[in-house]
Amino acid sequence: MHRKPVLAANWKLNHTPNDARAFLQRFLAQVPKLNERTLVFFPSAMTVGTVIEGLKDRPEIWVGVQNVHGEAQGAFTGENSVLMARDIGARVVLVGHSERRHVFGETDAQTTKKMALIAQARLTPMLCVGETLEEREAGRTGEVVERQLAAGLAELEDAQVAGIMLAYEPVWAIGTGRTATPADASEIHGVLRRALASRVGDKAAAGIPILYGGSVNRGNATQLLAAPDVDGLLVGGASLDADSWASIVRA
């Protein structure tokens, strides 16, 4: 089955609204409409509106948010909700990014709640899974990513599972310059695909894009995208420069 590659830029805590305007001007000049791949931007919450406005003539490019709170509304100062994300025009929500898990202490239980809320709001969740270096060296990679995946899907109906995106990002490869080899990525993507198939069947599982994230750059993007079962890339640092990101999305 041919899945349309998904190329996602996670800007993390970078790029003010003014930075984003300048970035989009430079980026869009280099990237004509690409029908054969889906592009997604994940700006910070305060920059999302600017990016959505800047892409109004390019509806084929999706904009997402990096996080939402696990409740739809309430007394949660400083948080953002799924309804706010949807209202502003976001289409995708990152869930369980390794920094949310390891810097902010998010649990599998919180991932479960967020995934359910996002699906109910008819937004697309992009669930991130990945192991630490210790877990990898202990031979526990498969077990860890399957546990994280199961938690993410726990409260979803099968039809909702079929509409998610998945990203494998080994924690030891994020921002370290160490990248999983294309063979490493393929192996774990295969584990994830089989776990999805056991939940929703082969046909639905075959339609779910599984992205790789972790020190992706211009130099390794093409090789990673060519690996079996790698359906896209979730890119951090290399997506912050308009020229670098333009060359990756054209890879």
Q: Which two tokens stand for residue 232?
A: 């896209």
Spatial contact of 226 and 182, defined as CB atoms under 8 Å apart: yes
Which residue is listed with tokens 């359910």? 116
**What is the C-alpha to C-alpha distance for residues 129 and 220, in angstroms, rounded to an integer?**
21
Strands (E), the chain: 6-10, 38-42, 61-65, 92-95, 124-129, 165-168, 210-213, 232-235
Do the bridges between strand 232-235 and strand 38-42 make them parallel or antiparallel, or are there none, so unpaired? unpaired
**What is the C-alpha to C-alpha distance for residues 144 and 37, in angstroms, rounded to an integer?**
29
Angle (nearest 5°) at CA 198 between 185 and 40: 45
Pick the catalytic residue from 15, 97, 99, 189.
Answer: 97
**What is the C-alpha to C-alpha distance for residues 50 and 108, in angstroms, rounded to an integer?**
32
Of 223, 236, 222, 232, give the one whose Cα is nearest residue 177: 236
Pick the catalytic residue from 99, 106, 131, 169.
Answer: 169
Active-site residue 97, yes or no?
yes
**Direct distance between the N- and C-terminal alpha carbons of the chain, in angstroms, rounded to an integer:** 20
**What is the C-alpha to C-alpha distance for residues 237 and 214, in angstroms, rounded to an integer?**
10
Spatial contact of 244 and 18, defined as CB atoms under 8 Å apart: no
Q: Active-site residues: which are they?
A: 97, 169
